[in-house]
Chains A and B, each alone.
Chain A
Amino acid sequence: MTESTLKNVGAGQSPAPTGSAPRPAEATSGSPRRGAAQARRRRTSKLIRPWALLAPGLIVIGALLGWPIIKVVLLSFQNYGLRQIVSGTWNFNGGANYADVLGSAQLWQVVLPNTVVFAILAVTATVVLGTLVALLLAKLGPILRGIVSSVIMIAWAMPAVTGTYVWSWIFDADAGIANQLLMSMGWMDQPFNWFTNRFTFYAIVLLNVVHHGFPFVAITVLAAFLGVPREHIEAAEMDGAGPWRVFWLIVIPQLRQVFAIVIILSTIWDFKVFTQVYLMPGGDGANRDVLNLGVWSYTESFGQNKFGYGSTIAVLLTVVLLIVTVIYARTILSQEDGS
């Protein structure tokens, strides 16, 4: 809706470039006065319209995502249990929950390592595997590349719920195929319970999360690989650069932004792993050694009815994620401004 369009409205010329453009019966052609009125109306609506269009979305997001975030912060400063749910009253206790959470051995010895160390390992493994797979895909011909891409999509498409059940079943202590194969190959004498030990438990979560996450990295990085100009690669090869030097000196520098986004998104996803832990045997809080921030917050709230305490843990998790997100938003928005 530029000025020139508005001026042309009354002129009655309609060089519509497509046949699908509508031709309403009450076209305004021929009447300059009506054209001027309409132009004025359009100018006003140009200010109001974006907000009118945004209103439904903002209301839904505000009521169901915005207000709850404010409320969880308010709850995190309260001793909020069943009694408060019934009476509907606030019950502020200052920063006691924060002092409790930050002073608890459970946080520093179990929950934080389970969350942070796991996220670091998972992001590293996902990005490295995904990049290697992208390199492999780049080596294939176009047809085979398409087929293999679709095959790895199947790993990505697996819902978290069913994926976790399948991995739990593969490593099941009594009848799982992993134990059966290891025993039939003579590497193990008796079935091993993978889920009672904190490290083997998280090794399976890691396998689950990496298996589910690497296709996204592979497909995204592959798209970036294919976008690297061939002339640059050929020029470097003419200068005698081997495949490694081409990769590190030509390909990687062009991919910095893509890697930044992929790493940040993976970090966000891997920090808030919930379903993949909660649905594993003992992961729902029964085994306190395998709690992470998300599951801890949930079990304190819904298992112990300590909604204030659980909120405090959730707020801490959110703050960590927000810091990562701000970096993400800056990366992606600066990319947009540059285009």
Chain B
Amino acid sequence: MSALSSKRPTVVGRIVTAVLTIALCLFALFPFYWMVASAFDKYVGTTGALWPSQVTLAHFAYVMTEGKFGLYLRNSLLVALVVVVASSFIALLASVAVARFRFAGRRAILLLVLVIQMVPMEALVIPLFLQAKQLDLLGKLTGLMVVYTALALPFGVWMLRGFVAAVPIDLEEAAYLDGATWWKMFFHVLFPLVVPGLVATSVFSFITAWNEFVFAMTMLGPQIDKYTVSIGLRAFFGLHANDWGAIMAGSTIITIPVMIFFIAVQKRLAGGLTSGAVKG
């Protein structure tokens, strides 16, 4: 029985399905597997085998000490944390406005939120770099925090409005009946009920800040002690030979937190991108 047919599959059909499923999993997993396997391989890139010949933690040790990855992780976490708090809060306020109020310009705002997400980074990075230079924000994490908060906002608003709209309006009205002001209602009724949405939005903001590359590279420039993890790896690329063991160890460290968060909110993420069917 499958979802698209009510007929029982034949034996041949079952075998084909099994083979395809295994092939799909191998294809999906191979880069991740190869990254982790290379990161632990003492003789990385010399054996031609598909598994580590001798397992070692040396690449990780090198990356964390010589590679300054402890510092980069701290920088990235700091930036991501500020971005998560700032963008979630601002996005929540805006999403309440578009989900709970009917006002002139609401549709234009929704359109703006949609359209602004599509502007390519390369168009933003030139003017923002020039602006940051004038404001003396180059080489500082503050500049990145502000930019990432803005980058995470549109998707946050888009996603949260669905959660806000899903809160029954009766609950709000009950709070008013009890004499609550709008702000009391917001913090005591609406806020607790949209926490799941805030979690999903926070995860998305975190991933945005953690993965971002173009702005970090441009705005931090030569300020190595301010590097975030996504640009911290570039130091391992030598002029003649690349230290692939270290690059893969660093890549593993960057990827693991993203992967955990991603799988935790996988359903909401796919839904958030195509939502619109949710009434808002």
The answer on A and B forming one complex is yes
User: Is A121 located at the chain interface by the 8 A CB criterion?
Assistant: no
CB pair B9–A274 under 8 Å, yes or no, is no
Complex: how many Å from CA A336 to CA B103?
A: 17
Chain B neighbourhood of A268, CB < 8 A:
118
The answer, among A21, A136, A234, for a CB contact under 8 Å with B174, is A21
Q: A16-B178, A152-B24 are in contact. Are A181 and B97 (CB under 8 A)?
A: no
Quick check: A322 and B118 within 8 Å, CB to CB? yes
Query: Is A112 in contact with chain B by the CB < 8 A criterion?
Result: no
What chain B residues lie within 8 Å of A60 (beta carbons)?
A: 90, 149-150, 153
Q: Are A21 and B38 in contact (CB under 8 A)?
A: no
User: What's the dominant secondary structure at chain B's contact region?
Assistant: helix
B173 partner, pick from A1, A181, A219, A315, beta carbons under 8 A? A1
Question: Which residues between 94 and 139 of chain B lie within 8 Å of chain A, taking CB atoms?
Answer: 94, 96-98, 100-101, 103, 106-107, 109-112, 114-116, 118-131, 133-134
**In the bound complex, do residue B50 and residue A9 qualify as a contact, i.e. CB atoms below 8 Å apart?**
no
Residue contact A332 to B6, C-beta cutoff 8 Å: no
> Which of A26, A85, A219 is packed against the most chain B CB atoms within 10 Å?
A219
| Residues 188-211 (chain A) with a chain B CB within 8 angstroms | 211
A71 at the B interface (CB under 8 A): yes
B85 at the interface (CB under 8 A from A): no
- Complex contact B114–A325 (CB within 8 A): yes
Q: How far is the CB of B77 from chain A (nearest CB, A)?
A: 15
Q: In the complex the two chains form, is A314's CB within 8 Å of B122's CB?
A: yes
Indicate if B188 sits at the interface (CB-CB under 8 A).
yes
> Is A24's CB under 8 angstroms from B178's CB?
yes
Complex CA–CA separation, A163 to B230 (angstroms)? 11
**CB–CB B274/A261 < 8 A:** yes
Contact of A49 among B21, B50, B101, B241 (CB under 8 A): B101
Q: How far is the CA of A92 from the CA of B128 in the complex (A)?
A: 19
Shortest Cβ gap from A47 to chain B (Å): 7
Chain A residues with CB under 8 Å of B241's CB are 174
Let me know if A225 and B171 touch, CB within 8 A: no
Shortest B254–chain A CB gap in Å is 5
Q: Give residues of chain A (113-167) contacting chain B, Cβ–Cβ below 8 Å.
A: 133, 135-136, 138-141, 144, 148-163, 165-167
- Rounded to whole Å, the gap between the CB of B10 and the closest CB of chain A is 12
Cα-based distance from A148 to B210 in the complex (angstroms): 26
Is B4 positioned at the interface, with any CB of A under 8 Å from its CB? yes
Report how far A300 CA is from B263 CA in the complex, Å. 38
Contacts of B17 in A (CB 8 A): 136, 139-140
In the bound complex, do residue A144 and residue B34 qualify as a contact, i.e. CB atoms below 8 Å apart? no
Decide if B254 touches A159 in the complex (CB within 8 Å). yes
Query: Quick check: is A110 within 8 A (CB to CB) of the other chain?
Result: no
User: How long is the Cα–Cα vector from A163 to B17 in the complex, in angstroms?
Assistant: 28
Q: How far is the CB of A247 from chain B (nearest CB, A)?
A: 7
Q: Map CB proximity to A onto B163-174 as digits: 1 under 8 Å, 0 otherwise.
A: 000000011111
Which A297-332 residues have C-beta < 8 A from chain B? 297-298, 301-302, 307, 310-311, 314-315, 317-318, 321-322, 324-326, 328-329, 332
What is the 8 Å Cβ interface bit string for chain B, positions 1-35, against chain A (1 contact, 0 not)? Answer: 11111110100000001001100110111011011
Check B134 against A88 for contact (C-beta < 8 Å): yes
Nearest-neighbour CB distance to chain A for B71, whole angstroms, equals: 18
Judge whether B32 and A272 touch: CB under 8 Å. Answer: no
Known: A27-B179, A139-B3. 12 other contacts (CB 8 A): A9-B179, A17-B170, A49-B97, A61-B150, A133-B24, A140-B17, A154-B259, A169-B38, A233-B6, A251-B4, A302-B129, A329-B111
- For this complex, 25 residue pairs linking A to B, each with C-beta atoms less than 8 Å apart, are A9-B176, A42-B182, A63-B150, A64-B128, A64-B147, A136-B17, A148-B24, A154-B32, A155-B28, A166-B248, A169-B34, A169-B247, A172-B45, A175-B45, A175-B46, A184-B48, A228-B4, A262-B274, A265-B273, A314-B123, A317-B123, A324-B118, A333-B276, A336-B277, A339-B279
B interface residues with partner A (beta carbon < 8 Å): 1-7, 9, 17, 20-21, 24-25, 27-29, 31-32, 34-35, 38, 44-46, 48, 50, 90-91, 93-94, 96-98, 100-101, 103, 106-107, 109-112, 114-116, 118-131, 133-134, 146-147, 149-151, 153-154, 157, 170-182, 184-185, 188-189, 192, 207, 210-211, 213-214, 218, 230, 233, 241-242, 244, 247-248, 251-252, 254-255, 258-259, 262-263, 266, 270-271, 273-274, 276-277, 279-280
- Please provide the 9 A-B residue pairs with the shortest distance between their CB atoms, ordered closest to farther: A175-B45, A64-B150, A157-B262, A27-B179, A57-B94, A162-B251, A53-B97, A68-B127, A50-B101
